[in-house]
Amino acid sequence: MSNFVPKVPTSLRAHSFTSCMSKVSRFFLVTAHSHTVDLGLFILRVGTSLLMIPHGWSKLQKLSDKPVDFYNFLGLGPEMSLLLIVIAEFFCSIALILGIGTRAILIPLMIGMAVVAFMVHGADPLSEKEHAFLFLVPYIVLFITGPGKYSLDYFFMGKR
């Protein structure tokens, strides 16, 4: 068996890298919308986070409990699952208020709410899942739109 490695022209490799970096930078790019849309995104970002922080805080206090009684996500164990949701609900919510790393910060928050809605309360009626959905929907909206002008993301990486 030979070790055949195709030769890729240097210009093609540079183009692929540039294209990839362009996509990454567009992911973090924050553009200004109209003043009212930016204000609405700010209120949505801060309001949703302020409502989530107490959930994360109560779970943060459970971290010292032994044994930990928590949902075992993907077989990681209840302690690790609790730690991951504390990071999402408490620390990511604080970062979301500031609007720093917004799209990246929203990923653990969306995963956490999807796990609650579809796995923890998967067999339960909608009334048990709706709390998770009420957080998941704004997280999806903010992931799509970005944090808006009133964020540290815009200050550091937005269009000027």
pLDDT of residue 34: 84
Cα angle, residue 33 at apex, residues 28 and 38 outer, rounded to 5°:
90
Residues 22-58: pLDDT tens digits?
666 666 666 667 889 999 999 999 999 999 999 999 9
The pTM score is 0.78
- CA-derived radius of gyration, the chain: 20
pLDDT of residue 112: 95
- Domain parsing of the chain, residue ranges: 10-157
Instruction: Give Dmax over CA atoms of the chain in angstroms.
Output: 64
pLDDT of residue 68: 81
C-alpha dist (Å) from residue 36 to 39, 138, 143: 5, 17, 18
Mean pLDDT for the stretch of residues 61-86: 88
